[in-house]
Amino acid sequence: MKIVVAVKRVVDANFRVRVKSDGSGVELDNVKMAMNPFDEIAVEEAIRLREAGIASEIVVASIGPAKAEDTLRQALAMGADRAILVVHDGKADSLGVAKTLAAIARSEAPDLVLLGKQAIDDDTNATGQMLAALLGRGQATFASRIAVADGKATVTREVDGGLQTLELELPAVVTTDLRLNTPRFTALPNIIKARSKPLAKTTPAELGVDLAPRLTTLRVEEPAARPPGIVVGSVDELLAKLRDARVLP
Amino acid sequence: MTTLLIADGAATPHALTAALALGAEVHVLELPPNAIAEAWAEPIAALAGYDAIVAPATSTGKNLLPRLAALLDVMLISDVVEVLAPDIFKRPTYAGSAIETVQSADARRIVTVRASAFPPTSLAGVTTITLSPADTTLSRLVSEDAQISDRPELGSAKIVVSGGRAFGSKETFDALLGPLAAKLDAAIGASRAAVDAGYAANDLQVGQTGKIVAPDLYIAIGISGAIQHLAGMKSSKLIVAINSDPQAPIFSIADYGLVGDLFALVPELTSKL
């Protein structure tokens, strides 16, 4: 079966972003970028499905600036077969991205589309669900276990209060949670080999989709700063402070 | 202006406050727990007369509302922490490092709200509506595995005590945090490291990718305070950090810090409550 995995180039998870002083956004110049951690988990899962003899082809797709090619090359180095880059400068929101991925899914006809549950920059958590709706397919979000057999995917989801297991009719859309797997590191020979794997470039116009955001960002600001705290010397002092603050009886 | 609020457990009264800020009249639709998105999105999308549809950003809300939004060709506005106007919202991005104010150009607004950012409003007297799910062959529920806890629900507890990797084992985590939480009638939370190490269940994880909490008192014990953890608790009214490392980032946002060995300090704290 064929799997399409969507990946996004985002600010590295360990980097703390700063808000621009003019309130127009966050400072992204000279900031380390990386593949969205949830997308790495999605790529890893696709590769494991191939290693288990279930998947036959893995196509990775990304929507973003020309630099997003680096992110796709990383996925190719991990083991994906080929890549599609939809070159788009500027902002795009989840609905536009889902429409772009739907256009790709219609031409590639994958049995499974894997995405991360959310991108760690906009923290929206919507693209996978929107894609499933646009394709009229089943969805399993926040997946911590995926098994595929007999034209069905059995997916265990991390939900509030525990776990839920769903059986989906394929084709379907699945979004990955943190605990699905641990992504592999890419060895240097694979990075070199990835440079010659096929990477097709297209544009939203060629796919017939409009990426104009529906949400306008009016302002971006720092969260309210907390007043500086104090270090207390003992449990007794801590309890006295908490009683003074009336959070303890 | 009528707003539809999709109810989900303890978060509902908080989400009602946000829904009322969007439109004076609110109708409430109660779904079964962990409702299947494929069965509910289409019948809800077919409902006429709602300018806005709101749900708390619980696992059900986060699963269902984007599907609903795409069916209606509307962009979702997710995890809203403030309603400035029926079409203007504040929401955190970058693990809470930035707060963006967004304006929707869509005719209808589909919104998930961060329950901990809104005070609760009583549901007494609010109109409820009923709806049947559509038949679907796209997905089928196989099983549910609920984590049974006798502690208050993490998302709505007034006090949360959270443990990190420093506890060293599940036995120590339970033995030290359990009695403290019982004395305080607190919910138990955990850092990602503690969950990954198997000390606590996945759904107790507090952080960017877990639960977002804002209790009156949050006690972080043996938690260093990575950005992703802070994203889940930094709106708590009062934060206490207990950690052996005085340089731990958690102390930068704690109102009261106590430096020392948790294996001595937690039993002492519990015994003195």
Which of A3, A50, A10 has the alpha carbon at shortest distance from A31? Answer: A10
pLDDT category of residue B204 using cuts at 50, 70 and 90: very high
pLDDT category of residue B147 using cuts at 50, 70 and 90: confident
Which of A126, A142, A47, A62 has the alpha carbon at shortest distance from B67? Answer: A126
Chain center to CA of A118: 5
In B182-221, the residues whose Cβ lies within 8 Å of chain A are: 184, 192, 195-196, 201-203, 208-209, 211, 216-217
What confidence tens digit (pLDDT) does each residue in B62-121 have?
A: 999 999 999 999 999 999 999 999 999 999 999 999 999 999 999 999 999 999 899 999
Q: Give every residue of chain A whose pLDDT is below 70, as ranges.
A: none
What pLDDT is attached to residue B33?
82
Q: List CB contacts (< 8 A) between B155 and chain A.
A: 160
Question: Quick check: helix, strand or coil at residue A79?
Answer: coil
Largest CA distance in chain A: 68
Average pLDDT of every residue of chain B: 95
B144 to chain A, any CB pair closer than 8 A? The answer is yes
pLDDT > 80? residue B24:
no
CA dist., res. B97 & res. B81, Å (int): 14
Q: What angle do CA B30, B33, B39 make, to 5 degrees?
A: 75
CA dist., res. B5 & res. A30, Å (int): 43
B107 to chain A, any CB pair closer than 8 A? The answer is no
What Å distances lie between residue B84 and A42, B18, B118, CA to CA? Answer: 36, 10, 13
What pLDDT is attached to residue B268?
97
What pLDDT is attached to residue A128?
98
pLDDT > 90? residue B252:
yes
Spatial contact of B233 and B249, defined as CB atoms under 8 Å apart = no
Amino acid occupying residue B48: A
Q: List CB contacts (< 8 A) between B238 and chain A.
A: 242, 245, 247
Q: List CB contacts (< 8 A) between B240 and chain A.
A: 238, 242
B273, A239: Cβ pair inside 8 Å? yes
Q: List CB contacts (< 8 A) between B69 and chain A.
A: 95, 126, 130
Q: List CB contacts (< 8 A) between A162 and chain B.
A: 144-147, 201, 203
Rounded to the nearest angstrom, the minimum Cα separation between B3 and chain A is: 19
Spatial contact of B35 and B75, defined as CB atoms under 8 Å apart = no
B238 to chain A, any CB pair closer than 8 A? The answer is yes
Question: Quick check: helix, strand or coil at residue B188?
Answer: strand
* Percent of chain B predicted with pLDDT > 90: 89
**Paired tokens of B144:** 């549910």
- As for the ipTM of the complex, it is 0.96
What confidence tens digit (pLDDT) does each residue in A6-51 have?
A: 999 999 998 889 999 999 999 998 899 999 999 999 999 999 999 9
A32 to chain B, any CB pair closer than 8 A? The answer is no
Average pLDDT over residues B13-35: 92
Q: List CB contacts (< 8 A) between A157 and chain B.
A: 59
B158 secondary structure, DSSP code: S
What pLDDT is attached to residue B219?
98
* Percent of chain B predicted with pLDDT > 70: 100
What pLDDT is attached to residue A2?
98
Rounded to the nearest angstrom, the minimum Cα separation between A192 and chain B is: 32
A142, B63: Cβ pair inside 8 Å? yes
CA dist., res. B187 & res. B201, Å (int): 13
Nearest CA in chain B to A245: B238
A151 to chain B, any CB pair closer than 8 A? The answer is no
Q: CB neighbours of B201 closer than 8 A, spacing ≥ 6?
A: A162, B147, B195
Question: Quick check: helix, strand or coil at residue A143?
Answer: strand
**Paired tokens of B260:** 């020392």
Dihedral angle sign, alpha carbons of residues A85, A86, A90, A96? negative
Question: Quick check: helix, strand or coil at residue B179?
Answer: helix
Rounded to the nearest angstrom, the minimum Cα separation between B145 and chain A is: 5
Spatial contact of A104 and A4, defined as CB atoms under 8 Å apart = yes
Burial category of B216 from C-beta neighbours within 10 Å (exposed 0-12, middle 13-18, buried 19 and up): middle
Which of A126, A118, A115, A132 has the alpha carbon at shortest distance from A5? Answer: A115
Spatial contact of A98 and A219, defined as CB atoms under 8 Å apart = no
CA dist., res. A140 & res. A165, Å (int): 9
If one counts every other C-beta atom within 10 angstroms of the C-beta of residue A143, the result is 24
pTM for the whole structure: 0.95
CA dist., res. B99 & res. A219, Å (int): 8
A118, B209: Cβ pair inside 8 Å? yes
Mutate which: B74, B140, B269, vs A, most A CBs within 10 A: B140
Q: Are strands A33-35 and A9-11 parallel, antiparallel or unpaired?
A: antiparallel
pLDDT > 80? residue B137:
yes
Q: What angle do CA B69, B75, B79 make, to 5 degrees?
A: 90
A162 to chain B, any CB pair closer than 8 A? The answer is yes
**CA atoms within a 13 Å half-sphere pointing along the CA-CB vector of A102:** 22
